[in-house]
Structure formats: C-alpha cells, structure tokens
Amino acid sequence: MTSLFPVLTADEAAALVNDQDAVSFSGFGHAGDAKAVPLALARKARALHEKGQPFAMRILTGASSGHVIDEVLAEANAVCWRAPYQSGRALRSQINTQKVQYVDMHLSHLPQALAFGFFGKVDYAVVEASEVTPDGRVFLTTGIGCSPTFLKYADKVIIEINTRQSSRLREFADIVVMPRPPHRDPIPITHPLSRIGVPYATVDPRKIVAVVENDEPDNSVAFTPPSEEGLKIAGHLVQFLVEERIKDRIPYDFLPLQAGVGNIANGVMAVLGTHPDIPQFTMYSEVFQDSLVDLIETGRLKGASATALTLSPDALTRVVNNMDFFSDKIVLRPQEISNHPGIIRRLGVIAMNTAIEADIYGNVNSSHIYGMDIMNGIGGSGEFTRNAYLSIFMTPSVAKQGKVSAIVPMCPHIDNNEHSVQVIVTEQGIADLRGLGPMQRAKSIIKNCAHPLYKEYLYKYLDTARPGHIPHNLSACFELHENLLNTGRMLPDLKLP
C-alpha cells in the first residue's frame, strides 16, 4: 500500500518542515485530524527554541482541529498565523495578545481562497487517511473538511496512515473538488443524501514526501447532557417549529435541519427528535454529533449530510460496528459543498446556531467577548444563516450566574446581522423577527428573550435612545460591556439571586 512512498517516523517527517512554512492539516472539529506529525512539530519547535533558533508555521485546517494543533503547537510557540477557525485556549490567548495573526473566515470560502493563492503558497499538507494508493487515491477517515483541496494545492504532502480507523469509513465519503470560476456547472444535489462524487480524495503521487503511521483515536469527547436552560431553549424552539408546520409555513414532510456545534445544539436535536409532532426528517449540516446516532437508530432521522463525524469514541464505535446499517444514511462531503450557499438555499435548510450575545435589534455576535477577544470564530454559521429558509439563533439569556446578559443594546462585534437573523431563542422564550421593523424587533426580543434581571435596563435604553430608523444612545450603547470589563459584571449594582 505504501511501499512506493517514503515511510518515515513522525520526527523524520517534521524535520522536513522549515520555519515560516505554510502547513495545512486535515481535520474538522477533532475529526480526522493529523495527530503524529503535529506532535513531532511541537517537539521540534521546543528543541529549536531552546537553542535560540526560530520556528513557527502558518497553519491552515478545515475548521477547528485536534488538541495538538490548537493547544500543543501553540504552547510550543510554533504558530505565527492561523486560519480559518480555532478552538484552543492557548492559541486563543496568543491571538488576543497579537502574538499570532488570525484570519477568521467563512469555512466554505477557504478552498477557493487557497486555490487562488490569497494566502500565498501552501508548502505542506499533512493529511490523515486509512489508505493511500500508488496512483494517488487518498481515503480519508472521519473528517473531509478541506483536505481534498489541501492535497491538490500543497507543494508537498505527508500522509498519516491511521491504522485504528476503520477502512469502511470511506463508504460515507462523497468527494468532489470545485473547479475555478467561471467554469462551474450547477451542483446536482437535490436531497441531503444525494451523491455526486467519489469516495476518495486525489493527490499527485510525486508530491508525497512521507508516509507516517499512527493509531491514535480522534480526541472528540461526549457532550454533557443539556442543562435545564438548554432543555427550555429546546422546548421553545420545537414548539415554534411545530406551530410553523401547523400553519403550513414548513412543509408537512418537513425541511432539512442544520445544527451548530455544542451542548445546546446537541440537546435541541435530542429533544426535537423525540417530539411526537415532528415527523421523520433529514439534515444538511456541517457536523454529525452524538445525538444523531440515536436518532438514526430509532428511525427519526432518515439521513444526514455533513463534513465530519465529530463523535465521542463510544458513538463512533457504534457507527463503525454497524456500518451495514449506517453506510447509506450518512454522507461526508468537502466543506465547500457541505456549507455551499446555493445548496442550502435550494434545500430550504432550517439553520439553528448558537450565539454569545444578540442585541435588541437582532444582530448576533457568535465569536468575540467585549467585541475584542476572540473565542473560536464564525465557522460555518454565517453561510447557513444567510441562506437558510429559517435562520435561528439560540443562547441562554444570562451567563456567569447572571453577571452577563446575552441580550444587549448593541453588539460591539457582529457576525450575523439583522438582515439574516430571523428567530432568537433563550430559555425565557422566542422572538420571531420576521416582518418586524427595528422598534418592533427590540420590544419582542426584550419581552420574550431577555432575562428579567435586565429587562428594565433594556427598556430604559430604548426610552433614552435617539430617534431614528434604528434608535440608539451612542453614549450608552456599550455601557454593559464597559461595566463587564471594569467590574466583572454588566450591572454592578444589580442584586443577583
């Protein structure tokens, strides 16, 4: 299988990479991420730094990646630039202190940006696979992400053969790499389970400079059970969808769903999947999470399209051990297809994503604290929100025992604006913003979504706002955020329960 290619240790492969090289790693949300070579690169960085020599890389992945890339490499000071998404505490700190330059971008845009050289050349692609053939077919594992594009455009390629991952995972893969515009035909996906590609990525075999073996599992962890707040959010949302179906605003046989990453989204899917008034449904989404395994097994979820299996080890084992059942019910695509705006619009996807905060007019921040410090990034939420049949954002109304309100007068950073956001849900209730002018939106959000601790402040803000199409008090619009920075709570005099 690999005899035609140099078989190296991880350290030998890492020795090929130079300071300031641009290195793209496979992986999407801890699924199918390169594992052995990034660890070796961290060891190399520490050893060189101890000798006073520089070593840092420009790093690309599909989205967030494994613990090694966003934590271990960052702790080794081996990252100088990062795109398009991250989720590591160490790397986040370095980005927020300007030690690492970070490009936060829509995930489906990455393949085209890379193909046209917007970021310069890619020196190496390090990609996990279960097999690479002499003619350059690369069978990916649990994540597709941007790996097909990395393999096509990187100057040199290192393949990590993961002997732990099942070779049958290739049965989920449906891989196609988009040609450059304007030479693009319509994408013939008319159903979430439509298949248009092949089960492997391809690479020019002459570019493969190393094959490294590893047997490490994905580092995905099981989500915790939804909190009481999360269950209330799920209840409000499911009841809303049921009523929309009764009103014939959602077809009787329902529409494909998309759910963001995390415990709230995972909990919503679990509740939605057991509600008697929600029919069998499909998903067209980014990731396939634990709750969906149960839903497919019970027949509630007919099938799902995604770009990665972000499953806990136990859930992945259940899937792999029952591939005859699951193989025709899950499709894994490159992220430029899983997040493609035209397909999302065509299928009429209902998008459900999580927010850090929303302002009273319906603008949503899902990536920054105080408008300044990055948490993770926008990811794919914007691609689904802008193009969905229904765009929904979910968040608890308060955080940190009430010290922080998720409903604020104005978001200092906006990822998804009022023109795209249609519904906001907290544990307090749901605000349907469709067809409402700014003042109507503000009153609906405060009434239905804001926590009682903050309603008086928000109504008072409206009363003091300068009249206009979108009324604001510019001297006070960020008062809550300034209080939070200075005192650790948005309303310093507020008596918390």
Q: Which residues are catalytic?
A: 286
Q: Per-residue confidence at 222, pLDDT binned at 50, 70, 90? A: low
pLDDT in the model for residue 226: 76
pTM of the model: 0.95
Q: Rounded mean pLDDT of the chain?
A: 95
**Mean pLDDT of the 62-80 span:** 92
How do residues 370-424 score in pLDDT, each as one tens digit? Answer: 999 999 999 999 999 999 999 999 999 999 999 999 999 999 999 999 999 999 9
Cβ partners under 8 Å of residue 379, min gap 6? 63, 64, 85, 107, 260, 261, 286, 366
Whole-angstrom distance, CA of residue 237 vs CA of residue 275: 11
Cα–Cα distances in Å, from 222 out to 226, 285, 316? 12, 19, 11
Is 242:275 a contact under the CB 8 Å cutoff? yes
pLDDT in tens, 279-312: 999 999 999 999 899 999 999 999 999 999 999 9
435, burial (CB in 10 Å: exposed 0-12, middle 13-18, buried 19+) = exposed
Report the pLDDT value the prediction gives residue 223, as an integer from 0 to 100: 67
Q: How confident is the model at residue 1 (pLDDT cuts 50, 70, 90)?
A: very low
